[in-house]
Structure 1
Amino acid sequence: MNEYSVLIGMIGIVAGFAFAYWAKGKIVSQKLKDAESEGLRLIEDAKRRAETLLKEAKLEAKDRHFKMKSEFDAETRDTRAELKKKEKWLIQKEENIDRKNEQFERREREVSRKEKKMLKKEEEIEHDRLKYNELVEEQKKQLEKICGLTAEQAKELLIRAMENEARYEGAKLIKRIENEAKEEADKKAKNIIATAIQRYAGDFVAERTVSVVQLPSDEMKGRIIGREGRNIRSLEAATGIDLIIDDTPEAVILSGFNPVRREVARISLMRLISDGRIHPARIEDIVKKVGHEVDAVIKEAGEQAAFELGVHGIHHELIKYIGRLKFRTSYAQNVLQHSVEVGFLTGVMAAELGLNQKMARRMGLLHDIGKAIDHEVEGPHALIGSKLAKKFGESPKVVHAVAAHHEDVPPSSVYAFLVQAADGLSGARPGARRELLENYIKRLEELENISNSFRGVANSYAIQAGREIRVIVESGMVSDEEAILLSKDIVKKIEESLTFPGQIKVMVIRETRAVEYANK
């Protein structure tokens, strides 16, 4: 019985272990199934989250791509617009250069054609001269055979006969020539001067003893002065020009007697303001570069003036001095323009008198060359200019004309007088040099007031810029003889009361009118 109980107990134990193992397996299997389902759910969640992140990343990438594309398109449009603008500017520049080249080539062809024509004429003249000499020699031989006299004997007889005839004719002509010369000289001189003025008129610029540079703002004044004034000191030292920075709004004044240095300082300061980098090293660099550019402009201006006048063979250093006159003014008249005009006027008057036009133009162009350095060398500019002309190989006639155009040296040639006349025409005629309107009107009023102060004057009119005044008198109060005396009295009072260049013509007009009316 006990064995049976033990067996049953053991079977129960084994059965309990088996059930426990089975139950454990069931539990583990259920946990595995739960874990697997949880893993699948997590995987699904992860997939959904990954897809969401991927879509968001794609959208963000598309947004960034669109934004970058928009920025790129905007930059591309700006760049294309700038390139088109530059391309248009370059095309215009190229067209201008082509046009200038065409003009230069056309002028060059014209000059070449004229040179060929002149050479042909010279050959023809030389051929005619040789033919003329041969004919003269042949005539001499025939005359010697006919008259039985040698050439010397025939010449002596002809000279005596011509001398007697010339004395007789000369005695008759001297008085007539003197009278005609007095009548014609003034008329001819006026015609020559009028023709010269009519054929040329120049452009002039206003005189400047200082230059003004406009500033973008008053803050720029402090940058120009620099720390402890180092910038302004560097600029003044580099250019030799004084900078005046005062209360004038947005402006700096450059003061100096050397016009070339003043121009260099003006351009340098404008470039420094535009660049924005203002310090001593930069100032020296800019001033040096601008100096070279201004030198090139000076040389080009001198060459252009010589080309316009057709004057060749001038020394290259003298050309530079001529170009410097572009930056020099005298009584508000640009000296280079004045010199070119004097050259034209002298050449025109020389042509009217049958003189050498090229020589006359050369003298007119160089007459004020001394003004290029008169602020550096002591003495009258006429004598300074003559020394310069002599130094660079100009002929004695040119040197004399330059020295004598203000009578620092007595004039001894027709050319010297022509240069004097052309200089007076260019400088003293109304309109050539700037004059205040008030002074101009005041002078005309003074002329009319002087004329109206005399008894019997009805009206007076100053005309031709004050070069002539016409006085109308009352015929009942002033006779013909008194009109002559009145003109002399007015002239005397004008000379005593006024200061004026040239001369003033006083014309007294007296007329008697008879008026009747026909009635029906």
Structure 2
Amino acid sequence: MENVIMIVITLVAAVGAYIAGSRISKKDSGSIVRQAEELASKVLDDARREAETIAKEAELKAKDEALQIKDEYEQELREKKKELQGLEKRLGQKEENLDKKVALFDQKELDILKKEQIFTQKEQSLQQRDEELKQAADVQRAKLETISGMSASEAKKELMDAMEDEAKHDAAKLIKIIEEEARETADKKAKELISLAVQRYAGEYVAEKTVSVVPLPSDEMKGRIIGREGRNIRALEAATGIDLIIDDTPEAVILSGFNPVRREVARLSLEKLIADGRIHPGRIEEVVAKSTEEVEQTIKEAGEQAAFDLGVHGIHPEVLKLIGRLRYRTSYTQNVYQHSLEVAFLCGIMAAELGVNVKQAKRAGLLHDLGKAVDHEVEGSHAVIGAELARKYGESPKIVHAIMAHHEDEKPTTVLAVLVQAADALSGARPGARREMMETYVKRLDDLERIATSFSGVTNSFAIQAGREIRVMVSSDQITDDQSLIMARDIAKKIEAEMTYPGQIKVNVIRETRAVEYAR
């Protein structure tokens, strides 16, 4: 490439010389032209030779590169061929292995078919043997039924009965062992907790009835209370919603009604009217309104005082009013307000011994009979009503559950619910806490003895402890010691299902064996 450039420069120089020579005098022009032509010819020859040389070198170089490319291609082709030969060899080996495996699988398939034929023959043989055994068993069963004089179903039933009796016997033994173990570890601690709680709290007891008696200064006051054509007594009954009974009882008027708050309003109003002496419809309405305000204030103060005494705070004002209304409510002659306080204290004491939240336990105990403040106005169990009221006024789910579960309206699932249930039973079942009418008392004793004697094997039953215990005497020939445990549980379950009673009832099944002989 450089040579070609030199040639081009030389030509340019020659042309320039030629142009310059044309300007020289004609005299020298001939010689100069000749020299230029010679020089140009020489330059052209040199350039031609140089170009031929360059062309030959380029051709040789191209041939060398072509040969090199050919060698590389042939080398690559040889490697590819060698690689293909290796692949072909491996494929041949794999094909040979596959042929061997196919042959092996064919052989295994033949073996499996032979084994299936053998198994089919054995299965047919076993089925035939089963049929023979079944026929033999039928023949044997028929012979056994003939010998024993009892059908297979009867024998099965007798066997099942025997197994059931044995299972009951074993279950009774297991129950006895478990109860003894549990009693050894738990009975002592439970008694300590309960006795400690009862000893540390002694609640006042107030007995009230569903009627109130208002004393009169003289029998002449009865006529003034009745009024002309009975207008005063009608006005008083209409204003208070309580019936006034004016009979032959000397110097006394009886107020009768199921709403204790209204009865208290009527009592206060009548006492004020008697003391004032002015008894007429207008005055009656005025005095009843004033007495109603006083009773409402007393109710509010009673609820606040209960919460203060227990150290329970944050109770909704409407709930406090309901607690105060319990002051005028009784259950089996036990004042529900005092009962609620007692249950709250007992819950708190037992919770402290068990390491449970004391304030929460007191709160649940105080509110457990909340429904009794309105159960005469709303249909349903007082536990369910109380739980709904507590939920309505923002009490926690644990408190609501404890209220709902304290009479098994809901199964107790927390320690708090069990504590409230136990404290409620303690407060209601302690001696002197509650009294009943004679008719109800006698009927409960009769029902207890009737339920106990309805079980087979019972010879006598005696309801004692004012109906809080039933002693059942059983025949030792018909009932075993283990069966007596089961009978006690069954009697207790039947009492729970068929009777309504305060507190709890102890079922005591007694079995004894007596050997009697006379010496003559």
Indicate whether 1:503 and 2:506 are aligned: yes
SS in 1 for 2:506: coil
Q: Quote the offset at 1:190 in angstroms.
A: 1.8
Indicate whether 1:357 and 2:354 are aligned: no
**Alignment identity in percent?**
69
Q: Quote the offset at 1:486 in angstroms.
A: 11
Q: Does the 8 A contact of 2:304 with 2:320 survive in 1?
A: yes
Equivalence for 1:433: 434
Equivalence for 2:196: 195
Q: 1-side partners of 2:249 and 2:409: how far apart?
A: 43
Q: Which runs of 5+ in 1 are unaligned?
A: 1-175, 451-461, 471-477, 511-520
Matching residue's letter, 2:251: E
Q: 1-side partners of 2:393 and 2:210: how far apart?
A: 30
Matching residue's letter, 2:405: A
Q: Does the 8 A contact of 1:487 with 1:508 survive in 2?
A: no
Matching residue's letter, 1:278: I
SS in 1 for 2:254: strand
Call closer, same or farther: CA 1:491–1:436 in 2, change over 3 Å. Answer: farther
- 1:226-241 residue pairs with structure 2 within 5 A? 226-241=227-242
**Could you list the per-position Cα deviations for residues 144-191 of structure 1 after superposition, in whole angstroms to 9, with x for gaps in the alignment?**
xxxxxxxxxxxxxxxxxxxxxxxxxxxxxxxx9997544212222222
- 1:54-69 residue pairs with structure 2 within 5 A? none
Q: 1-side partners of 2:178 and 2:489: how far apart?
A: 30
SS in 2 for 1:355: coil
Q: Does the 8 A contact of 2:484 with 2:509 survive in 1?
A: no
Q: Quote the offset at 1:352 in angstroms.
A: 1.5
SS in 1 for 2:214: strand
Q: 2-side partners of 1:314 and 1:203: how far apart?
A: 24
Q: Quote the offset at 1:487 in angstroms.
A: 12
Rg (Cα) greater in structure: 2
Equivalence for 1:409: 410
Equivalence for 1:219: 220
Call closer, same or farther: CA 1:289–1:197 in 2, change over 3 Å. Answer: same
What count of residue pairs does the alignment treat as equivalent? 333
Q: 2-side partners of 1:434 and 1:178: how far apart?
A: 33
Q: Quote the offset at 1:412 in angstroms.
A: 1.6
- 1:321-360 residue pairs with structure 2 within 5 A? 321-360=322-361
Q: Quote the offset at 1:441 in angstroms.
A: 12
Q: Quote the offset at 1:256 in angstroms.
A: 0.9
Call closer, same or farther: CA 1:464–1:381 in 2, change over 3 Å. Answer: closer
Call closer, same or farther: CA 1:432–1:182 in 2, change over 3 Å. Answer: same
- 1:187-336 residue pairs with structure 2 within 5 A? 187-336=188-337
Equivalence for 2:138: none
Call closer, same or farther: CA 1:243–1:313 in 2, change over 3 Å. Answer: same
Q: Does the 8 A contact of 2:212 with 2:254 survive in 1?
A: yes
Q: Quote the offset at 1:275 in angstroms.
A: 0.5
Q: Does the 8 A contact of 1:467 with 1:505 survive in 2?
A: no
Matching residue's letter, 1:414: V
Q: Quote the offset at 1:283 in angstroms.
A: 0.5
**Could you list the per-position Cα deviations for residues 283-309 of structure 1 after superposition, in whole angstroms to 9, with x for gaps in the alignment?**
111111111111111111111111111
Q: 2-side partners of 1:177 and 1:486: how far apart?
A: 16
Matching residue's letter, 1:402: I
Q: Does the 8 A contact of 1:207 with 1:331 survive in 2?
A: no
Q: Quote the offset at 1:443 in angstroms.
A: 11
Matching residue's letter, 1:415: L
Call closer, same or farther: CA 1:487–1:374 in 2, change over 3 Å. Answer: closer
Q: Quote the offset at 1:496 in angstroms.
A: 11
**Could you list the per-position Cα deviations for residues 447-474 of structure 1 after superposition, in whole angstroms to 9, with x for gaps in the alignment?**
9xx9xxxxxxxxxxx998887899xxxx
Q: 1-side partners of 2:308 and 2:187: how far apart?
A: 33
Equivalence for 2:21: none
Q: 1-side partners of 2:332 and 2:469: how far apart?
A: 24
Call closer, same or farther: CA 1:229–1:192 in 2, change over 3 Å. Answer: same
Call closer, same or farther: CA 1:505–1:230 in 2, change over 3 Å. Answer: same
Q: Quote the offset at 1:206 in angstroms.
A: 1.6
Call closer, same or farther: CA 1:270–1:194 in 2, change over 3 Å. Answer: same
Q: Let me know the Cα RMSD of the aligned residues.
A: 4.3
Q: 1-side partners of 2:179 and 2:432: how far apart?
A: 37
Matching residue's letter, 1:302: G
Q: Does the 8 A contact of 2:347 with 2:361 survive in 1?
A: yes
Q: 2-side partners of 1:409 and 1:213: how far apart?
A: 43
SS in 2 for 1:253: strand
Matching residue's letter, 2:287: I
Call closer, same or farther: CA 1:464–1:233 in 2, change over 3 Å. Answer: closer
Q: Quote the offset at 1:391 in angstroms.
A: 1.1
Q: Quote the offset at 1:359 in angstroms.
A: 0.4
Q: 2-side partners of 1:308 and 1:509: how far apart?
A: 52
Call closer, same or farther: CA 1:306–1:229 in 2, change over 3 Å. Answer: same
Q: Does the 8 A contact of 1:469 with 1:505 survive in 2?
A: yes
Indicate whether 1:395 and 2:393 are aligned: no
Equivalence for 1:420: 421
Q: Quote the offset at 1:226 in angstroms.
A: 1.0
Call closer, same or farther: CA 1:326–1:223 in 2, change over 3 Å. Answer: same
